Structure 1
């Protein structure tokens, strides 16, 4: 039976979504093409009808993961987001969690298209954070002041992302029942919330 174009697109999307979950859960090297296709409900042979290589799928799955994270955090207060991100629940469920925390270390060892997918995803996240939480008071300022405010907001956003992701990565590297695993999350949550509540410097 011939597969329609719409069905082929739906099948591809299912494979990408399944891969996004499994890669976050097991890492890029922990999931073979055969296992991945089986989990998505397809045969191994059908893989190359959709993708040129596993690396191509890895890049698409990374983009999918970033999109899922963006959708999941839409409309959430920044303090609530920090608490959720640094929660034990997020730490213990990488398959449904943040792509950066689950796969950034793996991505650094992968082909260029995978690294580019991460760079693109991080860039979109930074743009969103600066738009929502930074440089908001610069609209009536001079262009130079506005540009400086945006650079500062971007730097703050990079710092925040690095701390949140790093905290989850370090916590996951510890044994599940290790007191240190929780201590890392709690210390970074306190630090992040403290900076959020600190009064902003006047220009």
Structure 2
């Protein structure tokens, strides 16, 4: 049976979506091609009709996961007053819901250590998407010069990712909640320092 171009594109997209979830759940090397294809409802033999290699699928799945995170942040920002956008992203990221659902969460925390051991091509693709996430966070600090906003965004995201990883290590109890709370406080301190640096109005 010959399939239409549209059918092949839809199938390709479904494989990438399914793979992005399973890779975040199991890690880059925790699940094989056969299982990934089975998740998408396809046979192992059909893999190379869509991807030139396992690495090609991994790159697409990683990129898709990162794009989804950035898009969620963008939609959240659009639905939130400007002065509360940075806090909304931090609080959503460092939540019990995010902690308990790595398959649909941030790819940085789920796959970061794996990415560091992947090929230069994979690391480059991941780094490009990471840069987009940082730029999006920097957009939420409009009172700072761009370079300073970017530096604060990097610091905040590093804090957020580290806290989320530690909270998952700690499980789902009181200690885990303590880590999430401390992470939120530390990341939100970035915004507080921004507010403190706003220029004062000149006296008449």
TM-score scaled to structure 1, two decimals? 0.87
Stretches (4+) displaced over 3 A: none
Change (3 A) 1:137 1:193: closer
Offset from partner CA, 1:63-94 (integer Å, 9 cap, x none):
10111112212232221221111011100100
Is residue 140 of structure 2 the alignment partner of residue 133 of structure 1? yes
Offset from partner CA, 1:121-149 (integer Å, 9 cap, x none):
0111222233x223x357xxxxxxxxxx2
Count of residues in correspondence between the two structures:
190
Q: Which residue in 2 is equivalent to 1:191?
A: 186
For 2:160 and 2:58, locate their aligned partners in 1 and report how far apart those are by CA, in whole Å: 23
Q: SS of 1:3's equivalent?
A: coil
Is residue 165 of structure 2 the alignment partner of residue 169 of structure 1? yes
Structure 1: unaligned runs, 5 residues or longer: 139-148
TM-score scaled to structure 2, two decimals? 0.86
CA offset at residue 190 of structure 1? Answer: 1.7
8 Å CA contact 1:171, 1:181 repeated in 2: yes
For 1:114 and 1:30, locate their aligned partners in 2 and report how far apart those are by CA, in whole Å: 17
Match of 1:116 among 109, 124, 135: 124
8 Å CA contact 1:56, 1:113 repeated in 2: no
8 Å CA contact 2:17, 2:61 repeated in 1: yes
For 1:74 and 1:153, locate their aligned partners in 2 and report how far apart those are by CA, in whole Å: 17
